[in-house]
Amino acid sequence: MEFSHRSNMGNDESSISFSTGKSAQERGLSHVPESYVIPTSHDPNLHPETAKVPVVDLSGLRPASAQRSLVIQDIKNACHRMGFFQIINHGINQSLMDGALSSAFGFFNLPTPEKMKLMSNDVHKPVRYGTSIKDGIDNIQFWRVFLKHYAHPLEDWILSWPANPPYYREKMGNYCSEVRKLGLELMGAITESLGLGSAYLSDKMNEGMQVMAVNCYPPCPNPNVALGLPPHSDYSCLTIVLQSSPGLEIMDMEEGKWGKVPKLHGALQVHVGDHLEVLSNGLYKSVVHRAILNCERTRISIASLMSLGLDEKLGTAEELVDEQHPKRYKESSFGDFLNFLSANDIGEGKAFIDTLKIIK
């Protein structure tokens, strides 16, 4: 399938058309084509400060633990202050996480024709491979290759996942089930932290979606002019990220600047997503984040996005609305987000959450 780049720069690479599957990041070009160069106002800062990311120790979260209320308080502070935190003692074995990362590396190392079997720009496809965000459609291209697939219920989807590498389904599947359990537990803690009780959303979350975004950022010859992913927040209630090396940056709203998420061995990263912002009536804000690049090594991240069912609307909890705190958001579903994504260019700064705000 041939796509031509939209850039009008007249530069050698940007003016030629090439097949998706042979994008600059996949071909290992020694320079960055103009169509990837982001406006200078959004330049990645190659020496950003380290963000003050809360670290929450989940060992005290088990229901009978005397520590539970303290952990809930930590989660509440982290969600309120940053919409982002790292978790340790989360209960997922290192070997399971390593297995998921190695199956992702194995997939991206396959020859292009094998990956192209799954290539699609249709955001509604439950399993798809792609480059950038919507390569050949969006104005600016991002230095990313990705595989997205649904993961719950596992038995419904696993047979449509990549058949290669041969261990992909088993290793990724094991990680997906564990991280889903963890996500449900965290959602219980989060609704508890909002005073809604730990079972508030559990039935709907049990029936909900789990979308895996498996991202690969190849080394970039000039990491200060391009990005792996532009600033965005996730549509989900909650996203849990596993990464092979650092490269994630978050916007600290209080300080008004980007900060890099520090490396913490064995930790996972938790994002508050747009749907949780809506549920909490803005008490918790979805975190704006982006992926930066480096010129040395390929980075893999595996994001598990958890939300309600495809067409299940999520609105603000009535318990959090009163005269002093009027409802600030419209309800929406995962399906509404997909329609938004297909119609809008995220790289241009369009944000789903802005379409939901009643009070700006």
The residues of the shown chain that bind ligand OGA, judged by CB under 6 A, are: 213, 215, 229, 234, 241, 243, 247-248, 289, 291, 301, 303
**Between 234 and 252, CB nearer to Ni ion:** 234
CA distance 234 to 282: 15
Beta bridge partners, 344, equal none
**Between 234 and 336, CB nearer to Ni ion:** 234
- Phi and psi, residue 123, nearest 5°: -65, -15
Choosing among Ni ion, ligand OGA, none, which partner's interface includes residue 90 (Cβ < 5 to 8 Å by kind)?
Answer: none
**Between 188 and 230, CB nearer to Ni ion:** 230
Residues of span 75-104 touching Ni ion by CB under 5 A: none
The secondary structure of residue 64, as a DSSP letter, is T
Among the residue ranges 64-72, 160-168, 191-199, 226-234, the one whose residues contact Ni ion (CB under 5 A): 226-234
- Residue 262's CB: how many other CB atoms inside 10 A? 13
Min dist. Cβ of residue 273 to ligand OGA (A): 9
Residue whose token pair is 């190695």: 102
By the 8 A CB rule, do 225 and 38 touch? Answer: yes
Element (H, E) at 278: helix 274-279
Min dist. Cβ of residue 293 to Ni ion (A): 15
Q: How is residue 179 written in tokens? A: 């991280």
Q: How many residues of this chain interact with Ni ion, rule: CB under 5 A? A: 1
Choosing among ligand OGA, Ni ion, none, which partner's interface includes residue 301 (Cβ < 5 to 8 Å by kind)?
Answer: ligand OGA
Give the residue nearest to Ni ion (CB): 234
Note whether 249 binds Ni ion by CB under 5 A.
no
**Between 25 and 301, CB nearer to ligand OGA:** 301
CA distance 308 to 143: 30
Task: Give the β-pairing of 55-57 and 84-88.
Answer: parallel
The CB-side HSE value for 89 (13 A sphere, CA atoms) comes to: 9
**Between 130 and 247, CB nearer to ligand OGA:** 247
Min dist. Cβ of residue 148 to ligand OGA (A): 9
**Between 84 and 200, CB nearer to ligand OGA:** 84
Choosing among ligand OGA, Ni ion, none, which partner's interface includes residue 273 (Cβ < 5 to 8 Å by kind)?
Answer: none
Note whether 234 binds Ni ion by CB under 5 A.
yes
- Concatenating the DSSP letter of every residue in 317-355 gives -GGG--SSS---B--B-HHHHHHHHHHS-GGGT--HHHH
**Between 14 and 304, CB nearer to Ni ion:** 304
Choosing among Ni ion, ligand OGA, none, which partner's interface includes residue 138 (Cβ < 5 to 8 Å by kind)?
Answer: none
**Between 213 and 251, CB nearer to ligand OGA:** 213
To 10 degrees, what angle do helices 168-193 and 68-81 make? Answer: 90
Q: Which of 274, 269, 267 is nearest to 232 (CA)?
A: 274
Give the residue nearest to ligand OGA (CB): 301
**Between 273 and 328, CB nearer to ligand OGA:** 273
To 10 degrees, what angle do helices 168-193 and 94-108 make? Answer: 120
Choosing among ligand OGA, Ni ion, none, which partner's interface includes residue 243 (Cβ < 5 to 8 Å by kind)?
Answer: ligand OGA
Min dist. Cβ of residue 62 to ligand OGA (A): 29
CA distance 261 to 86: 9
Min dist. Cβ of residue 358 to ligand OGA (A): 25
Q: Cis bond leading into 153, ω under 30°?
A: yes
The secondary structure of residue 357, as a DSSP letter, is B
Min dist. Cβ of residue 110 to ligand OGA (A): 20
By the 8 A CB rule, do 17 and 33 touch? Answer: no
Contact letters (x/-) for Ni ion, 183-222, by CB under 5 A? ----------------------------------------
Residues that bind Ni ion (CB under 5 A): 234
